[in-house]
């Protein structure tokens, strides 16, 4: 396992590089998670040093609190309307820049913000880059009402795709299921490999109690992968090279 301090250096390298994509006056989406938090800190520092204005929309209560505490102006997405750029982390990314997100249970708002942006850029360390998605458990946000019936429907969908693993309600807080910022539960799918992410996404999206899954397909345009020595590698979708 990679030393967490090394991983943090890599995340910081990616975050620093991403701050250079931000231009004065931009409408900017702020992601959630440890990498996105480093970006928010780096961005706040740059804004303070250079004194320019930005309009930010955040993807979680945690990011709203962090950004606001650092002096960034955070507004409701609906008050901004549309975003120029969103910068966020990811749990996994494949060579097509398809992603798994939601390790921090924020993927619903993250997907709304990312798809309401002209560009989404992912920042990550090398450990997030995979050949095929699925090693990281796939989060599926479900409405608490009837969640067990929803879980049955998710199981049947997995069966149809010959995926034998079962969805699990495993994220707990104070002995109760963890609630997302939108008051929903998370089912985790430990799939190990997702042979066809588009097919799985379609199946999951067609289930009534599923609010959103953590597959981000065809949404990210650029990934900035940080290295412990402070350098970065940029990955673009193959069809965009
Ligand atoms: O729900 C959380 C988000 O999708 C995060 O962006 C993702 O889990 C990556 O987080 P981290 O940068 O902490 O690995």
Nearest residue (by CA) to ligand 1, atom 9, is 90
Dist CA 66 CA 37 (whole Å) = 8
Q: Note whether residue 234 is domain-resident.
A: no
Phi-psi region of 172 (alpha: psi -120 to 50; beta: other; left: phi over 0): beta
Residue 31, marked binder: no
pLDDT at 6: 79
**Same domain membership, residue 174 and residue 143:** yes
**Same domain membership, residue 94 and residue 10:** yes
Dist CA 44 CA 51 (whole Å) = 10
Neighbours of 160 (CB within 10 A): 11
**Same domain membership, residue 106 and residue 179:** no
- Exposed, middle or buried, 203 (CB in 10 Å: 0-12/13-18/19+)? buried
Residue 140 near residue 202 (C-beta atoms within 8 A):
no
**Same domain membership, residue 163 and residue 121:** no
Q: What is the CATH number of the domain that holds 76?
A: 3.40.50.1360
- Asked whether 107 lines ligand 1 (CB < 6 A), one says yes
**Same domain membership, residue 167 and residue 62:** no
Q: Note whether residue 236 is domain-resident.
A: no
Q: Name the catalytic one among 92, 110, 141, 212.
A: 110
Nearest residue (by CA) to ligand 1, atom 8, is 103
Outline where the chain has alpha helix (H).
4-19, 34-50, 61-69, 77-80, 107-115, 147-160, 197-205
The CA dihedral of 90, 95, 97, 102, to the nearest 10 degrees, is: -30
What DSSP line would sit under 54-74, residue for residue? -EEEESSHHHHHHHHHTT--B
Residues 6+ apart with CB under 8 A from 57: 27, 28, 29, 30, 74, 75, 76, 77, 80, 83, 113
Ligand 1 atom showing the smallest separation from residue 101 Cα: 4
* CA dihedral sign, ordered 27, 18, 121, 189: negative
Ligand 1 atom showing the smallest separation from residue 214 Cα: 4
Residue 68, marked binder: no
**Same domain membership, residue 223 and residue 193:** no
Q: Note whether residue 238 is domain-resident.
A: no
- Of 59, 74, 72, the C-alpha closest to 115 is 59
Residue 128, marked binder: yes
Q: Give pLDDT tens digits along the chain (241 positions).
A: 567 887 899 999 999 999 999 999 999 999 999 999 999 999 999 999 999 999 999 999 999 999 999 999 999 999 999 999 999 999 999 999 999 999 999 999 999 999 999 999 999 999 999 999 999 999 999 999 999 999 999 999 999 999 988 999 999 999 999 999 999 999 999 999 999 999 999 999 999 999 999 999 999 999 999 999 999 999 998 655 4
Return the HEC string of 130-150. CCCCCCCCEEEEECCCCHHHH
Structural domain tally of the chain? 2
**Same domain membership, residue 122 and residue 51:** yes
Domain that holds residue 27: 4-130+218-229
Beta strand pairing call for 222-226 and 232-236: antiparallel
């Amino acid at each position: 396992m990679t030393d967490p301090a090394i991983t943090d250096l890599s995340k910081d390298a990616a975050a620093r590089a991403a701050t250079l994509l931000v231009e004065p006056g931009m409408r900017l989406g702020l992601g959630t998670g440890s990498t996105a938090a480093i970006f928010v800190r780096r961005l706040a520092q740059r804004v303070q040093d250079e004194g320019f204005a930005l309009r930010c929309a955040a993807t979680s209560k945690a990011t709203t609190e962090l950004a606001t505490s650092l002096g960034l102006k955070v507004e409701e997405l609906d008050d901004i309307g549309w975003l120029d750029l969103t910068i966020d982390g990811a749990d996994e990314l494949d060579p097509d820049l398809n992603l798994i997100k939601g390790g921090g249970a924020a993927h619903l708002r993250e997907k709304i913000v990312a798809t309401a942006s002209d560009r989404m850029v992912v920042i990550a360390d090398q450990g997030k880059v995979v050949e095929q998605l699925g090693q990281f458990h796939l989060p599926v946000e479900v409405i608490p009402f009837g969640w067990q019936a929803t879980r049955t429907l998710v199981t049947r969908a997995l069966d149809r795709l010959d995926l034998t693993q079962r969805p699990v309600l495993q994220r707990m807080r104070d002995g109760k299921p963890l609630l997302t910022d939108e008051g929903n539960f998370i089912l985790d799918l430990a799939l190990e490999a997702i042979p066809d992410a588009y097919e799985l996404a379609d199946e999951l999206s067609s289930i009534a109690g599923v609010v959103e899954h953590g597959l981000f397909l065809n949404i990210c345009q650029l990934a900035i992968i940080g290295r412990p020595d402070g350098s970065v590698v940029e990955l673009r979708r193959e069809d965009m090279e």
